[in-house]
Amino acid sequence: MAKDKTDLLQGTLDMLILKALQLQPMHGFGISVRIRQISEDVLRVEQGSLYPALYRLEEQGWITSDWGISENNRKAKFYEITKLGRKQLANETANWERLSLAVNQVLGAKLKDLG
């Protein structure tokens, strides 16, 4: 079902956003830049999914937003991770690690079998 796929992608993006916000509050553009930087330009956030995702996260109570002044002295909306969001990030990270480990093992095993 299409839903599973988007769920997975959504979940991943959510995790990346939370991760990006872990250190300091940031505005939307900052988040997209940060994700690109950390992933060394591998991951590019689609602009079309960033803002809906931010809204969803806020709705879940994982992040909050407030208007503030950005580094270039403009009014901008800053997002901040909440306690609940940190907990969620920890959960998601653990899940992700388990999942990626498992996937790696499967892939590694297959390579070995083939080899």
Position 115 contacts other proteins (CB under 8 A): no
Cβ–Cβ under 8 Å, residues 65 and 80: yes
Q: Which uninterrupted H or E stretch holds 23?
A: none
The least CB distance from residue 31 to other proteins, in Å, is 10
Position 96 contacts other proteins (CB under 8 A): no
| DSSP class per residue in 35-90 | HHHHTTTS----HHHHHHHHHHHHHHTSEEEEEEE-TTS-EEEEEEE-HHHHHHHH
Position 51 contacts other proteins (CB under 8 A): yes
The least CB distance from residue 95 to other proteins, in Å, is 14
Q: Tell me which residues touch other proteins (CB under 8 A).
A: 27-30, 32-33, 47-49, 51-53, 55-56, 59-62, 64, 70, 72, 74-77, 84, 87-88
